[in-house]
Amino acid sequence: MFFHKKELIHKDINVKDPDPKFAQLLLEQFGGATGELSAALQYWVQSFHIENPGIKDMLQDIAVEEFSHLEMIGKMIEVHTKNVDQTEAFKSTLFAVRGQGPHFLDSQGVAWSASYLNEGGDVVRDLRANIAAEAGARQTYEALIKMAPDENSKEMLVHLLTREISHTKMFMNALESLGKLTDPFFGNIKPDETVDIYYNLSTEGKQGTDERGSWNKEPDFRYIADPMNADLNEKQKIS
């Protein structure tokens, strides 16, 4: 059951000089791949896959908040396209053709797609996908903040960016509660003997060196410096 309260989750939006060009950029967070609609639907659908009651509740709480963020972005788009004369509207051909207010399109006019959603029925997989989704949203918000034409719009976007950080921390803590924050082994199939092998398949040349770091060093990994000249067993593991 849903109820809609007719006020924004944050402050009302007051824009002195509407900017349809900026409104078109804001569409990225309404009908775009990293937008609030994508996040809300992704987390909501994931919640039905999950047995853990605490994580299910968290996903539904965050999903509902993301719907409220979608409302904020929609209101910002409405404010930036409302009561502008035709000359101003034509600075964004998208709104000149489609009319004022938000649409399920991204900033380039591409229609929203369910292919943007990443959910797979495994709690660890889904939580990690959500961390990536929040990172993508935060990157988009950072770009929008740099281009915001007024302080009120910028303040609203900073709030939305802040909540992306909060959600990321929630997802990380949920993974940690499962003991899976840094554990790459999840699922039910035992990996084979190549699980700890690192193949040096991008060899040193004029453009750089073969770097070594925690991602390819002992004790976590066996480093195969020259895979083509490795013994037969190691070559079979490559193919």
- Select the more confidently predicted residue: 86 or 225: 225
pLDDT tens profile 6-19? 888 887 888 888 88
**Residue ranges of E strands in 144-189:** none
- Tokens representing 227? 């895979």
- Model confidence at 227, pLDDT cuts 50, 70, 90, reads confident
At 1, the pLDDT band (50, 70, 90 cuts) reads confident
**Gap between the Cα atoms of 121 and 31, Å rounded:** 24
- Residue 222's beta-bridge partner residues? 197
Residue 93 has, within 13 A of its CA and on its CB side, a CA count of: 2
**Whole-number Å distance between alpha carbons of 69 and 88:** 27
pLDDT at 102: 94
- Give the tokens for residue 63: 């999903």
Average pLDDT of every residue of the chain: 89
The average pLDDT across 40-45 equals: 98
pLDDT tens, position by position, 55-105: 999 999 999 999 999 999 999 999 998 866 666 655 667 887 788 899 999
DSSP string, 55-115: HHHHHHHHHHHHHHHHHHHHHHHHHHHTT--HHHHTTSHHHHHH-SS--SB-TTSPBP-GG
